[in-house]
Chain A
Amino acid sequence: ETGVTQSPTHLIKTRGQQVTLRCSSQSGHNTVSWYQQALGQGPQFIFQYYREEENGRGNFPPRFSGLQFPNYSSELNVNALELDDSALYLCASSLGGGDTEAFFGQGTRLTVV
């Protein structure tokens, strides 16, 4: 089991609402990345935070936003939820860079109804 924890584990929201997902990174890791995994698909990169700054973003609209705190934990916020936002949201922490292992949390299953 990795040291990355996500909360909540499951969540049901109504279309149009806003949601905040949380992630505690592994000790010593300064980089957190968020991924969206639709049912039956591979994870897709949403964005990455490095030392409290956004450090890269995938092809997701601005209603997906995030924060990283001084202790390197992170939040993913999604506004104006749509049905297609229903997915597993994964957080991964690492030391950054393309050669380091990413440690994943167990994910938050978001259902939008």
Chain B
Amino acid sequence: AQTVTQSQPEMSVQEAETVTLSCTYDTSENNYYLFWYKQPPSRQMILVIRQEAYKQQNATENRFSVNFQKAAKSFSLKISDSQLGDTAMYFCAFPEGSQGNLIFGKGTKLSVKP
């Protein structure tokens, strides 16, 4: 069974600084996708970034980028120029099987301090 592990329950960062959130996963699949979702206090889960495992190039979306290490099964999220609005829970997620239902990590609570 696939598993997703986020080892940092809480992190904090100063506004405008850079922070990296860690995620490791376990799967026997070779082609798959990985996702980072953000859940602000409003509770609505929002997709931050997506990585395709067969692509060697790390995904980037504006201030958000990933460091994807397929052999190590590691998928970390880097947030550059952190903003107060980045304060949220961040979840790493892996879609399971053909249905694509998501397996989530336990999340990392990120606080951006002014």
CB–CB B33/A104 < 8 A: no
Choice from B4, B44, B98, B107 contacting A98 with Cβ under 8 Å: B98
CB–CB A56/B97 < 8 A: yes
Binary interface profile of B, 79-108, with partner A (CB < 8 Å = 1, else 0)?
000000000000100011111111111110
Q: Which residues of A contact B6 (CB under 8 A)?
A: 42
A42-B106, A98-B32 given; A106·B101 CB < 8 A: no
Q: Which of A2, A44, A101 has the most CB of B within 10 A?
A: A101
Choice from B46, B52, B98, B101 contacting A33 with Cβ under 8 Å: B101
Q: Which residues of B contact A35 (CB under 8 A)?
A: 102, 104
Q: Within the assembled complex, what's the spacing in Å between the Cα atoms of A47 and B96?
A: 12
* A92 on interface, CB distance cutoff 8 Å: yes
* B19 on interface, CB distance cutoff 8 Å: no
* B45 on interface, CB distance cutoff 8 Å: yes
Instruction: State how many residues of chain B have any CB contact under 8 Å with chain A.
Output: 28
CB–CB B45/A104 < 8 A: yes
Q: Which residues of B contact A48 (CB under 8 A)?
A: 99, 101
* Minimum C-beta distance from B15 to chain A (A): 25
Q: Which residues of A contact B97 (CB under 8 A)?
A: 56, 98
Q: Can you identify 19 A-B contacts, CB atoms within 8 angstroms?
A: A2-B44, A42-B6, A42-B106, A42-B107, A44-B104, A45-B96, A48-B99, A55-B99, A56-B101, A92-B102, A96-B100, A97-B95, A98-B32, A98-B95, A99-B52, A99-B100, A104-B37, A107-B44, A109-B43
